[in-house]
Amino acid sequence: MRSVLAIVGPTASGKTGVAVRVAQELGGEIISADSRQIYRRLDIGTAKPTIDEARLARHHLIDIIEPSEPYDATRFAIDAENAIASIISTGAEPILVGGTGFYVRSLFEGLFEGPGRNEPVREKLERRAREHGSESLHEELAGIDPGSASRIHPNDVLRIVRALEVYISTGSTLTSWQSGSGRRPAYAPVYFGLTMDRVRLYARIDRRVDAMIAAGLIDEVRRLFESGALLPGLPAANAVGYREILDVLAADGTDFTEAIELIKRNTRRYSKRQMTWFSSIEGVDWLDMGEIGEEEAARLIVTRWRERRTCEE
């Protein structure tokens, strides 16, 4: 099975900058594994590649759907496999980059043909998770589907909600759906993970949010809201950085001070969930970005990747 270089890690850890450098050195193209960057017009709050970064390395699976359109890990795996095959056919090196663990695992560990999304049920479950915490939903899942509960971390809101959604919608547990024949992955990952001390990472997150606000995030969300392109309840509306501002706009508010602090808090919490997810994957080659810069991280990844590919050949 053909190996694919994958750069993963929490938000604000420097994945895009490192990936662009790696792509330049390897003659590669980047495939985004980010569940927010897929949406058109959600630009500032999703930290999409800058114009310069996009010029230095071609990016795939960014700006592919409207905020109102549904998109899930099954579709991502199919789209990503097609992108990888297309890149390889041109002689370039595919490089998967992102922090959406469910997308990454769906691509590299295979998928099962499960039921489609049930938006009303999902919305109610997500609201319960926000109001009462993911732990209460995880306890409910344990009583319904112990198999899924044992595999899903109590803080993994996305997968808990999905498992409960499947059961409520179909009457069958996620475990029973997964017991059928699955879709086999076409590529094997070689993981490189970017990490850093939590205090330093949280400080970077806070600075990034401040920079997004200064760059016009509130006005971006306002334009989308007023045009009807982004409204509460739409798939994209749950993205951190957007839902907090949308809540203020939907209530005809004008003070975003608390919303900004919520964005910082929720982003920090999201980064923690990301690290929990990726730490559970075996064989990740972790690089401490608190000790080295983007240039050195890229150099190490390129060197180790070439060594790995040489051994495979």
Q: Would you give the distance in Å from CA 252 to the centre of its chain?
A: 30
Kindly report the CATH number that applies to the domain delimited by 3-110+184-312: 3.40.50.300
Task: Indicate the range of 47-51, 114-118, 239-243 predicted with least confidence.
Answer: 114-118
Mean residue pLDDT across the chain: 91
Q: How far apart are CA 173 and CA 167, in angstroms?
A: 5
pLDDT of residue 181: 45
Of residues 71 and 289, more confidence is placed in 289
Residue with tokens 């730490």: 279
* Mean pLDDT, rounded, for 98-126: 82
Q: How far apart are CA 31 and CA 19, in angstroms?
A: 10
Task: Indicate the range of 84-88, 102-106, 211-215 predicted with least confidence.
Answer: 102-106
Residue with tokens 């998967």: 96
91: tokens are 């002689």
What is the tens place of the pLDDT at every residue in 249-274? 999 999 999 999 999 999 999 999 89
Residue with tokens 């064989």: 283
Of residues 300 and 134, more confidence is placed in 300
What is the tens place of the pLDDT at every residue in 171-225? 778 877 765 545 678 999 999 999 999 999 999 999 999 999 999 999 999 999 9
Give the pTM. Answer: 0.80
pLDDT at 312 over 80: no
Domain spans of the chain, in order of start = 3-110+184-312, 119-182
* 283: DSSP letter: T
H or E stretch at 298: helix 294-312
* Mean pLDDT, rounded, for 296-307: 97
Q: How far apart are CA 212 and CA 205, in angstroms?
A: 10
Q: How far apart are CA 250 and CA 231, in angstroms?
A: 8
Beta carbons within 8 Å of 73's beta carbon, 6+ residues apart: 102, 103, 105, 106, 111
Q: How far apart are CA 47 and CA 39, in angstroms?
A: 12
Of residues 60 and 233, more confidence is placed in 60
pLDDT of residue 82: 97
Overall fold of domain 119-182: Histone, subunit A (1.10.20)
Q: How far apart are CA 27 and CA 91, in angstroms?
A: 9
Q: How far apart are CA 293 and CA 85, in angstroms?
A: 31
pLDDT of residue 253: 94
Residue 23: closest CA among 51, 61, 56, 52: 56
Within 10 Å of residue 9's Cβ, how many Cβ atoms? Answer: 27
What is the tens place of the pLDDT at every residue in 13-42? 999 999 999 999 999 999 999 999 999 999
Q: How far apart are CA 116 and CA 188, in angstroms?
A: 26
pLDDT of residue 74: 78
pLDDT of residue 116: 73
pLDDT of residue 238: 84
* Mean pLDDT, rounded, for 218-243: 92
Please report, for residues 50, 85, 104, the alpha-carbon distance to residue 74 in angstroms, rounded to integers and kept in the order given. Answer: 28, 17, 11
pLDDT of residue 182: 56
Angle at 20 between CA 47 and CA 236, to 5 degrees: 25
- Residue 267 and residue 13 in contact, taking contact as beta carbons nearer than 8 Å: no
